[in-house]
Amino acid sequence: MHMEENGNIYLLVNYIIDSITTLEALRRQYPNLIILRITPGIYTVQVPQGAEAEFESLQENLRYIDIPLLYGLNAQQALETSNISQLHNYPYGALTGSGILIGFVDTGIDYTNTYFQNADGTSRIVSIWDQTIPGNPPEEFGYGSVYNQEQLSAALKSENPLSVVPTRDTNGHGTFLAGVAAGNDQSGADTFVGAAPDAGIIMVKLRPASQNIRQTYLINEDVEAYQTNDILTGLQYIMNTASALNRPLVICLGFGCNFGAHDGTNTIERYLENMGVTNGVIVVSAAGNETNSGHHYRGQIQAGQSQDVEVNVGENESGFVLSLYANIASRLYISVRSPLGQVISRIPIINQQNQNFKFNLERTILDVTYLYTDPFTGSEQISIRLTAPTPGIWTLTISAENAIDGNFNIWLPRRGFINDTTYFLQPDPSTTVQIPSTGKHLIVVGAYDATDDSIYIESGRGPTIDNITKPDIVAPGVNVQGPRVGGGLTSFTGTSTATAITAGASALLLEWAIVNQNLLEINTRIARGIFIRGARRLNSITYPNNIEGYGRLDLQNSISTL
């Protein structure tokens, strides 16, 4: 199915639905909506102009339709420290990622870079799905353009490759991660080698979030942000491509967000949970860089009590959405006080209805929506949206109609989605591992500095709100070198950098396990256990912990313990 990305033909409004109804039945009942299946039970919906009434009927029948969340990027020669490069020339069987695929859902890839070419100038990239270029979409998803290895190799032989295959990485994040995980300059120009230099690469270049979804979350146009539905279709495309080629697969996830309960229940987390038990697939995800940002608040309240939560709002802050999640046995409501002392008191709990307020002496608009109960978690969620907030100290007063343990958590949007000068005055650095890394059956990676063995101060910390230890391990993620768009090397810092190294290590593990037929039943859960058992642990630290999990990545020791 081909879909024009033109606002005059289709409204660029994407929704996500979870339903036991089949795709065929949904399309019969709502023939004018664009409904695509990601996996059985998970669908995306686009609303063409003129089909609004049909969409309203869908909403009434399903009761709850999810607006896509927005995710951002988590990166701002460590292979010897993690005992990876030693295995490239191991005398008893070298491991280089041969026969393995590594998939990325990211900003794209500079396919003209020599780090992604064979010695004869052909491409090592198996496939690129660029969601931003119309013309040749994957049949199952209907947008963007796919370029296979043969097309990429043909383009590289032309005088102007980008005139033949026009996909680009204008950000550099995807190119860098792919290079750290699987780069290999075979031209002899330099000696840089990624963790799995012979692995094949699948890249999905995500299309930027649509304007209406950005407005929903008050995210500026110039900020890198990507929608749930495009990430899900990208992941499924990678799975479909690897399955068609019958090759083992590593998926490297270098994005994250704070919108959600941080307990493994949102749509992407549940999708990845199923992927994590798939034979021959290893999913590796970045913990995020939110620990030192001041974006998480943890509180506890008893029935009949109130608690003030103060948020410093910086100058030139255009607005943001706070997400409050209560304990499942609690029923909370809020009041809001502005820096000028205006108060919106005791906002009533009206389920699933937006309540809008204006501050008479200020430009600020407040929107509050209670979900009682949230369909994913079963607990209460409160969405608090401040548009054009006055700079200064805003106070949220949290009150309890009833509560047992009374725990609640609030998250501000991730770094980059709001100003650095907007933060909680009394933040909690724990439970700052980002979604989707709060899901189950993933290998969640934090970052440390390989030069002095210190933990990267921003590296996301656990536990999840259901008290699961995160991250699983840490890997080098500070000033790591990798390819830049246009050639040469650059350095990035962040947990997605550490995740790329771990993804390369996972490709070597898959080669040992499946290609060399040592552990054919391997999946993400098994690989996670292997990395945990073989991790390097410091004598002065108690493990596991919610800063570095079970220790530092050590691939050679992990394999030797089997």
- What mean pLDDT is predicted for residues 272-279? 93
Share of the chain residues as helix, strand and coil, in percent rounded to the nearest 5: 20, 30, 50
Q: Does 451 have pLDDT greater than 80?
A: yes
Which two structure tokens, joined as six digits, stand for 149? 């290895």
Residue range 353-368, pLDDT digits in tens? 999 999 988 999 999 9
Which is more confident, 469 or 13? Answer: 469
Q: For 74-88, 404-418, 514-528, which range has the lowest pLDDT when averaged over its residues?
A: 74-88
CB 427 within 8 A of CB 421: no
Q: Does 16 have pLDDT greater than 50?
A: yes
Q: Does 2 have pLDDT greater than 60?
A: no
Which two structure tokens, joined as six digits, stand for 89? 């020339």
- Report pLDDT for 91: 61
Distance CA 400, CA 122 (A): 64
- Helix 495-510, helix 173-182: angle, nearest 10: 40
pTM: 0.91
Distance CA 443, CA 474 (A): 10
Strand partners, 384: 322, 368
The closest alpha carbon to 520, from 280, 243, 244, belongs to 280
- Report pLDDT for 262: 95
pLDDT tier at 75, thresholds 50, 70, 90: low
- Report pLDDT for 414: 97
pLDDT tier at 64, thresholds 50, 70, 90: low
Residue range 490-540, pLDDT digits in tens? 999 999 999 999 999 999 999 999 999 999 999 999 999 999 999 999 999
Distance CA 148, CA 48 (A): 31
pLDDT tier at 79, thresholds 50, 70, 90: low
- Report pLDDT for 112: 97
Q: Does 323 have pLDDT greater than 90?
A: yes
Q: Does 546 have pLDDT greater than 60?
A: yes
Residue range 469-482, pLDDT digits in tens? 999 999 999 999 99
CATH 3.20.20.70 describes domain 296-424 = no
Residue range 372-394, pLDDT digits in tens? 888 888 999 999 999 999 999 99
C-alpha neighbours within 13 Å on the C-beta side of residue 423: 16
DSSP structure class, residue 514? I
- Report pLDDT for 92: 60
Share of the chain above pLDDT 90, in %: 76
Q: Which amino acid is at 192?
A: F
Q: Does 3 have pLDDT greater than 60?
A: no
- What mean pLDDT is predicted for residues 66-77? 70
Which is more confident, 307 or 77? Answer: 307
pLDDT tier at 74, thresholds 50, 70, 90: low
Which is more confident, 448 or 60? Answer: 448
Q: Does 6 have pLDDT greater than 50?
A: no
Residue range 144-178, pLDDT digits in tens? 999 999 999 999 999 999 999 999 999 999 999 99
- Report pLDDT for 8: 34
Which is more confident, 86 or 391? Answer: 391
DSSP structure class, residue 511? I
Helix (H, G, I), strand (E, B) or coil at 345: strand
pLDDT tier at 190, thresholds 50, 70, 90: low
Which two structure tokens, joined as six digits, stand for 258? 């704070």
pLDDT tier at 67, thresholds 50, 70, 90: confident
- Report pLDDT for 71: 82
Q: What is the CATH number of domain 73-291+435-560?
A: 3.40.50.200
- Report pLDDT for 12: 40
Residue 359 makes CB contacts below 8 A (sequence gap 6+) with: 338, 340, 342, 344, 365, 366, 390
Question: Average pLDDT over the chain, rounded to whole?
Answer: 91
- Report pLDDT for 483: 94
- Report pLDDT for 533: 97
Q: Does 439 have pLDDT greater than 70?
A: yes
Residue 1 makes CB contacts below 8 A (sequence gap 6+) with: 34, 36, 139, 142
pLDDT tier at 55, thresholds 50, 70, 90: confident
Q: Which amino acid is at 394?
A: W
Distance CA 413, CA 411 (A): 6
What separation in angstroms does the CA of 140 have from each of 126, 233, 545? 19, 9, 42
